[in-house]
Amino acid sequence: MSVSETELRRAVSVLDQYRAQLETFQRQQEVLSLSLEELLRAKETMTRYKKAGKGAEVLFPVGANAFLFGQVEDPDHAIIGIGSDVLVQEPIPKAVERLDARIKSLQEALGGLGSRIAELDTRVSAQEEFVQSVYDRISEGQAQAVPGKPSG
């Protein structure tokens, strides 16, 4: 195997690694986006629940675009998870603050991940160009080495 062929194999291997990493980042971005949407929906539901007032008939989202009929019993309090499967009852404004903090954290994570994806995408493009140039160099060398073929 020639030096150029070894170089090509290494370059393709690096390209494959970059592409796999890019795909992983994109999947993470999708998961974070779904989590963000869920938090935004929860915040909106709490806000509307409080505004509806005691005794109001409401639809409760239960996920998968499905809803249950219900009636507002306590428009001032919500039950919210605080981690490790621990739930607490607290005033809705405090619960919304907690959700806002989570939303901000996810948005920051998405921003950072977006930057890494853009950087890696640039690397993938550069590596693709490098692989193509090595391949072209090998092809030109083989074309010149074939007897009876005019060079150039």
- pLDDT score of 110 more than 50: yes
Reported as a single tens digit per residue, the pLDDT across 9-56 is: 999 999 999 999 999 999 999 999 999 999 999 999 999 999 999 999
In this prediction, residue 139 has a pLDDT band, given cuts at 50, 70 and 90, of confident
- pTM higher than 0.85 for the full model? no
Write out the CATH class of domain 3-50+77-142: mainly alpha
One-letter amino acid at 133 equals S
Report the alpha-carbon distance of residue 94 to residue 57 in Å, rounded: 23
- Please provide the DSSP assignment of the chain as one string: --HHHHHHHHHHHHHHHHHHHHHHHHHHHHHHHHHHHHHHHHHHHHHHHHHH-TT-EEEEEEETTEEEEEE-S-TTEEEEEEETTEEEEEEHHHHHHHHHHHHHHHHHHHHHHHHHHHHHHHHHHHHHHHHHHHHHHHHHHHHHHSTTSPP-
Q: Which of 11, 4, 7 is nearest to 129 (CA)?
A: 11
Q: Which of 93, 52, 95 is nearest to 71 (CA)?
A: 52
Per the structure block, which two tokens stand in for 84? 């490790």
What does the chain come to in residues?
Answer: 152
Residue ranges per domain, the chain? 3-50+77-142
